[in-house]
């Protein structure tokens, strides 16, 4: 059964001694008003998403054009390593 949720997403970041680096994407907005920055890679749940972790992993893969693979993101989320909620 599909999990009862509206959506999920991730903020992709890297921390090291020099600071925190956050990955953002820039794109045209839907209203033609110019460019905007997106910090969260996420969106609505699909019928194929059994959990919110699956939604987040699928959205990251889609919104990065497949650069970050769904399976890798899902494994990271499920492991709890480096995951902050």
Q: What is the pLDDT of residues 29-80, one digit of tens each?
A: 565 555 566 667 888 888 888 988 999 999 889 888 898 899 999 998 898 8
The pLDDT of residue 72: 92
Q: Say if residues 60 and 41 touch (Cβ distance below 8 Å).
A: yes
Q: In the numeric block, which tokens belong to residue 56? A: 């987040």
Q: Say if residues 81 and 34 touch (Cβ distance below 8 Å).
A: no
């Amino acid at each position: 059964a599909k999990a009862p949720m509206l959506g999920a997403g991730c903020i992709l970041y890297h921390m090291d001694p020099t600071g925190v680096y956050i990955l953002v994407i820039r794109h045209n907005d839907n209203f033609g008003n110019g460019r905007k920055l997106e910090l969260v890679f996420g969106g609505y749940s699909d019928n194929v998403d059994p959990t919110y972790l699956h939604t987040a992993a699928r959205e990251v893969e889609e919104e990065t054009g497949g650069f970050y693979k769904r399976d890798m993101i899902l494994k990271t989320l499920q492991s709890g390593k480096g995951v902050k909620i």
